[in-house]
Amino acid sequence: MKKIFLLLLIYLIHFNSFSQIIEDAVKYSINDHYGSARVSAMGGAFTALGGDYGSISINPAGLGLFRSSAFSLTPSLKINNSSTGNFDKNKFNFGLSNLGLVLCNKYRLAKKDGFQSINFSIGYNKIKDFNRNSFSQVEKSNNSLLHIYQKNADGNEIRNLNDNEFFAYQVYLIDTIPGDSKYFSIPYTQTESPRLMENIKEEGYISEINFASAVNIGHKLYIGASLGIVDVYYKSKINYSEYSQKGTPSQLDNFVKSSKLKTTGVGVNFKLGIIYKPIQQIRIGASLHTPTRYRLEDESSTSYNAKYREEIEDGKDEFSVFSDINYFKYDLSTPMRMNFGTAFILKKRFIISGDIELLDYSSSRFKNGDNGVDFYGTDENPDTNDLIKEHLDKAYNLKLGAEFKANNQISLRAGYSKFGTAYKKSISNINDEINRYSAGIGYQEKNFNLDISYALSMKEYLVQYFNHGDIYSPILKNKNNTHLIQVSLGFKF
């Protein structure tokens, strides 16, 4: 595995081969918890509340608060806006946030303070959505990616070049200097300031099939557990390109490096939870989520296309090269999570709830890679797991929610949540915090409910195409906003 230094976000490492990197550990560890419209509208603060199918993936003890069997589904519309400089990209995605069935089994001979019921549920939850498009551009750069290739290639025979340098050599983006086969030139003049561009397309999801059970003891204590079977699908295509400025004497007109990655796999996790009501107006909840243990497979490939302003060889001015499709299997263990929550119910009309979620991103680990890869290196050449311990940190996520029952049928809701950064601030200048604002409305009949919610997630991060010592591209700022509209339909029986 190559040594990869973390300076900014994942966009720094697009030009390395698709190996397992610490950003992958973060990517598969952050959960959006789409849940139901009610849960989303109240900021996801449901560790102590329960009674909604969307809350079971947060705290399975919430299943115990159901007094009847129920069925619910939540379609959703997600709009992702990615903005870098003057360039905006939007991605629309319609899907299903959750689908669930709850079976309530009441104990007919229940005593007031004893065992009341045992409930079971099975359902589907979307816990992350990867769909996103982005485009960015640097009009003039003092450095080129080819300068890095040239520096890495100098002093090596052609047969000893790394993959990127060898592909670049095949399309004449670097070439040997006449009379010296170990030193290389590039098709730019020394004063060239190329235009840099990057277009990223991502799609995919993490979803979970959840099997849960919970008991109700005296309508005061609720204990639940669940098993989650997790499905991962992620696909990305990154086109990085450079264009010579018009009117310059450079041989090269433009080149495009295209990197494709598809990751698929399954995982498993367990959740345990408890909710306690010391009095009817107060609920206290806690849940523990074990690490999700994934078995994943990457399918990756790279291609180069270079177009010149004059014929280079055999009357041709355009050249392409394509790598083989590479397959690699490995395990990933994400962090354990602990959730703690408190809710206050005032006069059965007003609810205030708050959660805090604790997790340690530095505990993520890659394991059991193909060909005996263990993802550990040395002090001089650390590998992915070493870098995870060095650069990632503990984090907390804060969730707040409120609900006001205007009358017996209409409820108004609002929420806020903040997801802390996964990176150590003392080492990294990455701040990938997410702020989410939400609101919603609910309509309740005796055996039917309709809930609608809107949530806005806001995130800013830095984009840098390459950074190799004294050879680096300018830093850009990206703003990523996600708009999520959900509609939940529930039926009791």
Q: Who contacts 121 (Cβ-Cβ below 8 Å, separation ≥6)? A: 53, 56, 63, 100, 101, 102, 103, 210, 211, 212, 213
Tens-level pLDDT at each residue, the chain (493 residues): 322 333 333 333 333 344 568 889 999 999 887 789 999 999 999 999 999 999 999 999 999 999 999 999 999 999 999 998 878 889 999 999 999 999 999 876 667 778 899 999 999 999 999 999 999 999 999 999 999 999 999 999 999 999 999 999 999 999 999 888 889 999 998 889 999 999 999 999 999 999 999 999 999 999 999 999 999 999 999 999 999 999 888 999 999 999 999 999 999 999 999 999 999 999 999 999 999 999 999 999 999 999 999 998 888 999 999 999 999 999 999 999 999 999 999 988 999 999 999 999 999 999 999 999 999 988 888 899 999 999 999 999 999 999 999 999 999 999 999 999 999 887 666 678 999 999 999 999 989 999 999 999 999 888 899 999 899 999 999 999 999 999 999 999 9
C-alpha torsion angle, residues 334, 205, 8, 379 (rounded to 10): 30
**Integer Cα distance of 191 and 248 in angstroms:** 9
Q: How many Å apart are CA 49 and CA 38, to the nearest integer?
A: 11
How far CA 59 is from CA of 47, 127, 252, 340, in Å, comes to 5, 14, 58, 10
Token pair for residue 393? Answer: 């940190």
Task: Measure the CA–CA gap between 461 and 341, rounded to whole angstroms.
Answer: 30
Distance CA 290, CA 405 (A): 35
- Residue 389 bridge partners (DSSP): none
Burial class (CB in 10 A: 0-12, 13-18, 19+), 417: buried
Angstrom distance (rounded) from CA 321 to CA 303 = 6
Q: What pLDDT is stored for residue 113 in this prediction?
A: 79
pLDDT of 466 reads 94
Q: Residue 379: which residues within 8 A CB-CB, separation 6 or more?
A: none
Euclidean distance between CA atoms 472 and 315, whole angstroms: 34
Domain 10-142+192-492 of CATH type 3.40.30.10: no
DSSP character at residue 116: E
Domain boundaries of the chain, sorted by first residue: 10-142+192-492, 145-187
Q: What pLDDT score does 109 carry?
A: 63
CA 398 to chain centre: 18
Q: Check residue 71 and give its pLDDT.
A: 97
DSSP summary character for residue 373: -
Pick from 351, 289, 300: nearest CA to 328: 300
Report the chain's terminal Cα–Cα distance, integer Å. 56
> 210: which 2 tokens?
């959840």
| pTM, two decimal places | 0.90
Q: 293, 331 in Cβ contact below 8 A?
A: yes
> What residue ranges in 315-388 does DSSP mark as E strands?
318-322, 326-333, 337-346, 350-360, 365-367
